[in-house]
Protein backbone atom coordinates (compact mmCIF):
# COMPACT_ATOMS: atom_id res chain seq x y z
CA UNK A 1 0.00 0.00 0.00
CA UNK A 2 1.54 3.34 -0.99
CA UNK A 3 2.13 5.88 1.79
CA UNK A 4 -0.28 8.75 2.22
CA UNK A 5 1.08 12.17 1.35
CA UNK A 6 -0.27 15.06 3.39
CA UNK A 7 0.49 18.68 2.54
CA UNK A 8 -0.15 21.56 4.89
CA UNK A 9 1.09 23.84 7.62
CA UNK A 10 1.96 22.39 11.03
CA UNK A 11 -1.41 23.60 12.31
CA UNK A 12 -3.23 21.88 9.40
CA UNK A 13 -1.29 18.64 9.88
CA UNK A 14 -1.64 18.51 13.69
CA UNK A 15 -5.03 16.70 13.69
CA UNK A 16 -3.62 13.98 11.43
CA UNK A 17 -0.52 13.55 13.57
CA UNK A 18 -2.63 13.49 16.74
CA UNK A 19 -4.55 10.48 15.41
CA UNK A 20 -1.33 8.43 15.48
CA UNK A 21 0.54 9.40 18.68
CA UNK A 22 2.73 6.28 18.71
CA UNK A 23 3.85 6.35 15.07
CA UNK A 24 6.93 8.01 13.65
CA UNK A 25 6.69 10.31 10.63
CA UNK A 26 9.27 11.33 8.07
CA UNK A 27 9.42 14.99 7.05
CA UNK A 28 10.27 14.96 3.37
CA UNK A 29 10.35 18.59 2.34
CA UNK A 30 9.73 22.06 3.72
CA UNK A 31 8.23 24.30 1.04
CA UNK A 32 8.77 28.04 1.34
CA UNK A 33 5.96 30.44 0.46
CA UNK A 34 2.21 29.92 0.13
CA UNK A 35 2.19 29.70 -3.67
CA UNK A 36 4.53 26.71 -3.63
CA UNK A 37 2.33 24.81 -1.17
CA UNK A 38 -0.88 25.32 -3.12
CA UNK A 39 0.37 24.20 -6.50
CA UNK A 40 0.95 20.59 -7.43
CA UNK A 41 3.97 19.76 -9.59
CA UNK A 42 2.99 19.85 -13.24
CA UNK A 43 3.58 16.98 -15.61
CA UNK A 44 6.42 17.46 -18.06
CA UNK A 45 5.43 18.59 -21.55
CA UNK A 46 5.14 15.76 -24.05
CA UNK A 47 7.25 15.79 -27.17
CA UNK A 48 5.70 15.23 -30.60
CA UNK A 49 6.47 11.50 -30.62
CA UNK A 50 4.81 10.95 -27.23
CA UNK A 51 1.78 13.01 -28.29
CA UNK A 52 1.46 10.89 -31.44
CA UNK A 53 1.64 7.69 -29.40
CA UNK A 54 -1.07 8.94 -27.04
CA UNK A 55 -3.28 9.89 -29.98
CA UNK A 56 -2.88 6.42 -31.46
CA UNK A 57 -3.73 4.76 -28.13
CA UNK A 58 -6.81 6.97 -27.73
CA UNK A 59 -7.98 6.05 -31.24
CA UNK A 60 -7.55 2.33 -30.46
CA UNK A 61 -9.53 2.75 -27.25
CA UNK A 62 -12.32 4.51 -29.18
CA UNK A 63 -12.36 1.68 -31.74
CA UNK A 64 -12.68 -0.85 -28.94
CA UNK A 65 -15.63 0.97 -27.40
CA UNK A 66 -17.43 1.15 -30.75
CA UNK A 67 -16.79 -2.47 -31.76
CA UNK A 68 -19.68 -4.92 -31.83
CA UNK A 69 -19.68 -8.11 -29.75
CA UNK A 70 -18.62 -10.31 -32.69
CA UNK A 71 -15.56 -8.15 -33.36
CA UNK A 72 -14.68 -8.14 -29.65
CA UNK A 73 -14.91 -11.95 -29.48
CA UNK A 74 -12.73 -12.26 -32.60
CA UNK A 75 -10.15 -9.90 -31.12
CA UNK A 76 -10.15 -11.84 -27.83
CA UNK A 77 -9.64 -15.08 -29.79
CA UNK A 78 -6.70 -13.53 -31.68
CA UNK A 79 -5.10 -12.38 -28.43
CA UNK A 80 -5.42 -15.86 -26.92
CA UNK A 81 -3.92 -17.40 -30.07
CA UNK A 82 -1.05 -14.91 -29.89
CA UNK A 83 -0.37 -15.83 -26.25
CA UNK A 84 -0.40 -19.54 -27.03
CA UNK A 85 2.03 -19.05 -29.92
CA UNK A 86 4.35 -16.93 -27.77
CA UNK A 87 4.38 -19.61 -25.07
CA UNK A 88 4.72 -22.65 -27.38
CA UNK A 89 8.48 -22.39 -28.01
CA UNK A 90 9.23 -21.49 -24.41
CA UNK A 91 7.23 -24.48 -23.20
CA UNK A 92 9.17 -26.77 -25.56
CA UNK A 93 12.54 -25.46 -24.32
CA UNK A 94 11.61 -25.34 -20.64
CA UNK A 95 11.84 -21.56 -20.39
CA UNK A 96 9.58 -19.42 -18.26
CA UNK A 97 6.26 -18.73 -19.97
CA UNK A 98 5.59 -15.18 -21.07
CA UNK A 99 1.82 -15.59 -20.55
CA UNK A 100 1.29 -18.12 -17.73
Non-local (6+) Cβ contacts of 8 within 8 A are 37
Find the DSSP H helices in 4-100. Answer: 10-18, 34-38, 48-66, 69-93
Give residue 36's pLDDT band: very low, low, confident or very high (50, 70, 90).
very low
pLDDT of 93 strictly over 60:
yes
Q: What is the mean pLDDT of the chain?
A: 84
Q: How many CB atoms lie within 10 A of CB 75?
A: 13
Could you tell me the pLDDT band of residue 44, with boundaries at 50, 70 and 90?
Answer: confident
pLDDT of residue 80: 96
Residue 1's pLDDT band (cuts 50, 70, 90): low
d(CA 20, CA 80): 49
For the four alpha carbons of 17, 20, 22 and 27, in that order, the dihedral sign comes to negative
Beta-carbon count within 10 A of 86 CB: 13
Amino acid sequence: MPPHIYVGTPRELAPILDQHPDRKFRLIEIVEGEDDQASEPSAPALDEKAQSALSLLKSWMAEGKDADEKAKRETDREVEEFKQNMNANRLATGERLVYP
